[in-house]
Amino acid sequence: MSDMPEVESKHTPPAAECPSCDHMLPHGLGEKTCLICGAVCRISHQPTVDALISETLPCPHCNVVVEAGSAERPLEVACSACSKFFRITEKPYKVEIQCPSCERKLRIRPKPGTKQLNCPACDAAFNVTF
């Protein structure tokens, strides 16, 4: 693994559903293949693309604010002040699920299909479908 410092992006694309089977598509922008039915879909979201291009983050070396200038993630950026490189990584997409037994809120990374969850508070098992 590289010793290049990483900074997490502030923006993440919204979740998208497959038009063929209504299940969740893999997260991200661009061409995505549905893991349930195999349909190929092109995902774009202009507000997110604009936010990623104009995103400003502090350099981890010198704290000077640097503009990303691209919607691609991960993205290697050179700081204009100190000339050192760092990587802007993709922000993970998470959703909040409420346990049906104890109503505790659980934050998970959703994946297409059905997933069994075990609540850490009450040990109840339940299924969620994305």
Mean pLDDT by 10 residues, the chain (130 residues): 84 91 90 92 94 94 93 92 94 91 92 88 90
pLDDT of residue 111: 84
- Residues 71, 28 share a domain: yes
CB count within 10 Å of CB 120 equals 9
Integer angstrom CA distances of residue 113 from 23, 24, 35, 47 = 7, 7, 8, 27
Report angle CA 119, 93, 56 to the nearest 5 degrees: 140
pLDDT of residue 1: 46
Cross-strand bridge partners of residue 64: none
Domain coverage including residue 113: 95-129
- Residues 81, 27 share a domain: yes
- Residues 77, 38 share a domain: yes
Considering the domain boundaries, does residue 1 fall inside one? Answer: no
- Residues 85, 21 share a domain: yes
Q: What's the number of domains the chain is made of?
A: 2
- Residues 104, 52 share a domain: no
Considering the domain boundaries, does residue 123 fall inside one? Answer: yes
